[in-house]
Amino acid sequence: MRNFIYYNPTKVYFGTGVNSQVGEIVGGEFKKVLLLCGGGSARASGVYDDVTASLRAAGVDFRECAGVKPNPVVSKIEEAIGIIKREGLEAIVAIGGGSVIDSAKGVSAGACYDGDVWDFYARKTKIARAMPFFAVATLSATASEMNCTSVIINEALGVKTGLTDNALFPRATFLDPSAQFSVSARQTADGGIDAICHVMETYFDGTTGVELLMEYAEGLVRSLMELIPAAIRNPRDYDARAQLAWASASALNGTTWAGHSGRGDFASHAMGHTLSVKYDTVHGESLSIMMPAWMEYVRADNEYAFTRFARKVFGVISPDDEASRGGIAGMREFFKSLGAPTRLRDIGVSKEDLPELADMTARVPIGVLRKLGREDILQIYRAAF
Amino acid sequence: MRNFIYYNPTKVYFGTGVNSQVGEIVGGEFKKVLLLCGGGSARASGVYDDVTASLRAAGVDFRECAGVKPNPVVSKIEEAIGIIKREGLEAIVAIGGGSVIDSAKGVSAGACYDGDVWDFYARKTKIARAMPFFAVATLSATASEMNCTSVIINEALGVKTGLTDNALFPRATFLDPSAQFSVSARQTADGGIDAICHVMETYFDGTTGVELLMEYAEGLVRSLMELIPAAIRNPRDYDARAQLAWASASALNGTTWAGHSGRGDFASHAMGHTLSVKYDTVHGESLSIMMPAWMEYVRADNEYAFTRFARKVFGVISPDDEASRGGIAGMREFFKSLGAPTRLRDIGVSKEDLPELADMTARVPIGVLRKLGREDILQIYRAAF
């Protein structure tokens, strides 16, 4: 087990009806806030109305910045920062899924900074101060509602990159599972795949002496594999939606990586991000393709974990070498059963693009279990084809 | 799954050598602190020297209040509050196990209050403000280092009771597993039993639609049942000590009860507290006696959980009714294998005392899965005899 610092100060209000408490909680401290939203699903589901009604009732004045896209871009963050500075706003209320909340984190950092907000993502400077922000989570996937990471695309540079800083935890998060009854089967699957992959990124990173955390991770994956289909079969099953939401938050809120090397491997995420930049691939689908291909490539580097995973999650009983392959095959089959793509060709990537994808991904070093150079990355894209 | 608020702002510095960071972290904010300690084991293990050296190096002045006892008493808390007020101290650094950290919470509340600190425990008033405090955890059991509960005995009233308030989270906790190499086999077992019972208090409380949390709880219990004997067999096994410490903290830091009814049942704890008040029974031993007796008494009220527990933790394959008994028997046998008492007669209680124990416990209502009145409680003590 490695040395670590565990820290997660976000207060989570979880359950039916919590969105109508937003005004009271936010209004206790702030009177003029920015409302950051996505493309309209929060309006359709009624969450937008609940939150704005509660803000009005609490006497909280708000300005709106809508239209954050699924693969969020830095230009939108700059737009929101502009509104905050012009209007002298005091805090941010983000209503949406991971894209909106990730964007809110960028806005939070940029609102208290005179330079270019991309400076933080480019590691040119550190966050000295961030504007308090609140999250109303309408989609369970990224766990952004309960961590301090923001993943953003810079369209001009063609880069998707993450920023992690303790200043970027939501002050509070409101999570009403019943607000997710209207989330489509496709989005439910994509979000669940993201959560499963978050757990696996940490699980397979090669840290030893963490059987306690492996037990926890295996339980999370087994649970997610029950909960995702349950929520798809019956979109209004409250307990399925609630447990899926909490499992997704738990998958990347710090509880899985305490004692691990950093936060996990995340090479699959890096290779998937390149797909999102180039083809606007949905995050979950970038992972259902790249994660199994990565697992096969690095399997021999962590035979213990890959074998254990196969046995504990899929009940595979064959000998070790075969078992570890069985676990990977099982994972790919599960993704397929959710209707997710598991090959690059499934999303229309052409074979000629692979060297460019490898070049784009290899701009920064990736991998923890195994450090991957451009040639490794190209081989994994080829295997994923 | 029930509505809940999840909140745990304690920053945990975990791993080898973290105790020498205490001065730097505390000194960043405070210059005159109270050092609250127990009976001398922190001196013997070297933790006291590491912490005081680091405070001196950081220019932090400290006054000391030593001698907190294993079943901590309110008179000691009053003594510490007196020192703080007399000397104008700014914060508290608690070095010890659950007793010292529980006491630090009382001191923290009382130091900012003009009345009697017992008012908080007697629910006569609420905490308006608490003094910041830091915990250096030297024993893993109660999870006090990572929650906001303080359990204290009022000697004059003959009552052991708990106080839970968000103001009572440690600002930061320092947890070096290697500082626990010198913890005796007996204390290691008692602490581990406490942690297992914390998980079970929540697990069996009768909440439905929380299979995700049941998976987590089962993994924690299975892990603890591996880690406790491992740490006893080889007291210097770092990974065993580290995982045991993190499992114990996780058992009562909020992660197990998110979505449950409150924080769990805790009737076994209440009946055990009476033993501690009357016979000064060590906390873990009060639980190894009372928990299995309670489980037998309420088994029929939650057949699903008791059967599931038997199957998932002990691998029992017999039919449901028999299986649920098997899980309880398995738990009692495990406690016995650690050398812990499992019957009241093992700790010298006489049969004539049982009605008085029931009277003492029944002063306040207990039980969540089943509300227990005096007659229930007496029957459980009889069964535990």
pLDDT, one tens digit per residue, over A184-200 is: 999 999 999 999 999 99
Mean pLDDT along residues B161-177 = 97
The pLDDT of residue B8 is 98
Q: What is the pLDDT of residue A138?
A: 95
Partner-chain contact A15 B9, CB within 8 Å: no
Q: Tell if the CB–CB gap between A208 and B7 is shorter than 8 Å.
A: no
In this prediction, residue B70 carries a pLDDT of 87
**Dist CA B300 CA A56 (whole Å):** 50
**Could you count the other beta carbons within 10 Å of the beta carbon of residue A219?**
26
Nearest-CA distance B345 → chain A (Å): 35
For B18-46, what is the mean pLDDT?
94
Chain A residues in contact with chain B using a Cβ-Cβ cutoff of 8 Å: 1-9, 11-18, 177, 208-212, 215-216, 218-220, 222-223, 226-227, 238-239, 242-243, 246-247, 250, 255, 258-259
> Is there a contact between A310 and A319 (Cβ–Cβ < 8 Å)?
no
Q: Kindly report, as residue ranges, where domains of CATH 3.40.50.1970 are found in chain A.
A: 11-179
**Tens digit of each residue's pLDDT (9 = 90 or more) over A222-234:** 999 999 999 999 9
Interface test with chain B among A3, A19, A25, by most B beta carbons within 10 Å: A3
Question: Which DSSP string corresponds to A323-357?
Answer: HHHHHHHHHHHHHHHTT---SGGGGT--GGGHHHH
Pairwise CA distance, residues A307 & A328, whole Å: 10
Chain B hits for A259, Cβ within 8 Å: 14, 242-243, 246
Cβ-Cβ contacts under 8 Å, B3 against chain A: 14-18
How far apart CA A7 and CA B240 sit, in angstroms, is: 22
CATH 1.20.1090.10 boundaries in chain A: 183-384
Q: What is the pLDDT of residue A42?
A: 87
Checking if the pLDDT of B44 tops 90, the result is no
User: What pLDDT band is residue B42 in, cutting at 50, 70 and 90?
Assistant: confident
Q: What is residue A44's predicted lDDT score, i.e. its pLDDT?
A: 86
Q: What is the pLDDT of residue B39?
A: 87
B42 versus B26: the higher-pLDDT residue is B26
Task: Please tell me the distance from the alpha carbon of residue A12 to that of residue A143, in angstroms, as a whole number.
Answer: 12
Identify the closest residue of chain A to B253 by CA–CA distance.
Answer: A255
pLDDT tens, residue by residue, A101-138? 999 999 999 999 999 999 999 999 999 999 999 999 99
CA distances from B107 to B10, B12, B35, B62, B287 (A): 18, 21, 11, 15, 27
In this structure, are residues B62 and B88 in contact, taking their beta carbons and an 8 Å threshold? no
**SS3 sequence, A127-194?**
CCCCCCEEEEECCCCCCHHHCCEEEEEECCCCEEEEEECHHHCCCEEEECHHHHCCCCHHHHHHHHHH
The residue among B208, B190, B213 whose CA lies nearest residue B291 is B190
Q: How far is A243 from chain B (nearest CA, A)?
A: 6
**Other C-beta atoms lying within 10 Å of the C-beta of residue A329:** 16
CA gap A49, B169 in Å, rounded: 35
Facing residue for A11 by CB, picked from B3, B5, B223: B5
Chain A residue closest in CA terms to B10: A7
DSSP string covering B236-292: T-HHHHHHHHHHHHHTTSSTTTTTSSTT---HHHHHHHHHHHHH---HHHHHHHHHH
At residue A10, does pLDDT exceed 80?
yes
- Provide the 3-class DSSP secondary structure of residue B41: helix
Residue B230: pLDDT over 90: yes
Q: Do A259 and B242 touch (CB under 8 A)?
A: yes
Cβ neighbours around A43 below 10 Å, total: 15
Report the pLDDT averaged over residues B227-249: 98
Q: Which residues belong to CATH 1.20.1090.10 in chain B?
A: 184-384
Percent over 90 (pLDDT), chain A = 94
Give, to the nearest 10 degrees, the angle between helix A185-203 and helix A303-314: 140
Length of chain B: 385
Higher-pLDDT residue of A119 and A364 is: A119
**Among chain A residues, CA nearest to B209:** A239
Q: Nearest chain A residue to B8 by CA: give it.
A: A9
Q: Which two tokens stand for residue B182?
A: 């010198």
* Residue A373, token pair as written in the block: 């150079």
> What burial class does residue B300 get, using C-beta atoms within 10 Å of its C-beta: 0-12 exposed, 13-18 middle, 19+ buried?
exposed
Tell me the average pLDDT across B173-196: 96
A58-72, A247-261, A316-330, B187-201: which has the minimum mean pLDDT? A316-330
* DSSP bridge pairs for B172: B11, B134
Cβ <8 Å between B247 and A211: no
Q: What is the fold, at CATH topology level, of the domain defined by B11-179? A: Rossmann fold (3.40.50)
Q: Is the pLDDT of residue A261 over 80?
A: no
CA A194/CA A141 separation, integer angstroms: 6
* Largest CA-CA distance found in chain A, in angstroms, rounded: 65
B40: left (phi over 0), alpha (psi -120 to 50) or beta: left
The per-residue pLDDT of chain B, averaged, comes to: 96
pTM equals 0.96
Given a cut of 90, whether residue B380 has pLDDT beyond it is yes
| pLDDT-based confidence at residue B263 (cuts at 50, 70, 90) | confident
pLDDT tens column, B347-366: 999 999 999 999 999 998 99
pLDDT at site A45: 87
Q: What CATH number belongs to A183-384?
A: 1.20.1090.10
Reported as a pLDDT band with limits 50, 70 and 90, residue B30 is: very high
Distance CA B264, CA B147 (A): 14
User: What three-state secondary structure class fits B209?
Assistant: coil
- What mean pLDDT comes out for the span B90-110? 97
Higher pLDDT, B298 or B318: B298
pLDDT at A307 over 90: yes
Q: Count CB-CB contacts under 10 A for residue A298.
A: 21
According to the model, what pLDDT value does residue A93 have? 98
Q: Which of B8, B16, B210 sits opposite A8 (nearest CB)?
A: B8
Q: What is the mean pLDDT of residues A339-357?
A: 96
Confidence at residue B94, expressed as pLDDT on a 0 to 100 scale: 98
How many CA atoms does the CB half-sphere of B331 hold within 13 Å? 30
* Predicted pLDDT of residue A290: 98
Cβ neighbours for A124, distance < 8 A, ≥ 6 positions apart: none
Residue A279: CB atoms within 10 Å: 17
Q: Which two tokens stand for residue A322?
A: 């075969």
Q: What SS3 state is found at B57?
A: helix
Measure the CA–CA gap between B278 and A330, rounded to whole angstroms: 56
Q: Comparing C-alpha atoms, which of B146, B158, B76, B65 is closest to residue B110?
A: B76
With an 8 Å Cβ cutoff, the interface of chain B facing chain A consists of 1-9, 11-18, 177, 208-212, 215-216, 218-220, 222-223, 226-227, 238-239, 242-243, 246-247, 250, 255, 258-259
Interface contact flag, A4 B18, Cβ < 8 Å: no
**CATH 1.20.1090.10 is held by the domain B184-384:** yes
DSSP lists the bridge partners of residue B207 as none
Do the chains contact at A243 and B211, CB–CB below 8 Å?
Answer: yes
- Picking from B155, B154, B260, the residue whose alpha carbon sits closest to that of residue B204 is B260
Looking at chain A, the whole-number percentage of residues with pLDDT higher than 70 is 100
Q: How many Cβ atoms sit within 10 Å of the Cβ of residue B124?
A: 10
Q: Which residues of B touch A215 (CB under 8 A)?
A: 219-220, 222-223
Strand A133-137 relative to strand A91-96: parallel, antiparallel, unpaired?
Answer: parallel
> What are φ and ψ of residue B302, in 5° steps?
-150, 60
Residue of A167, A160, A86, A166 lying closest to A132 (CA atoms) = A167
DSSP symbols for B135-184: EEE-S-SS-GGGSSEEEEEETTTTEEEEEE-GGGS-SEEEE-GGGGTTS-
Are A208 and B239 inside 8 Å of each other by CB?
yes
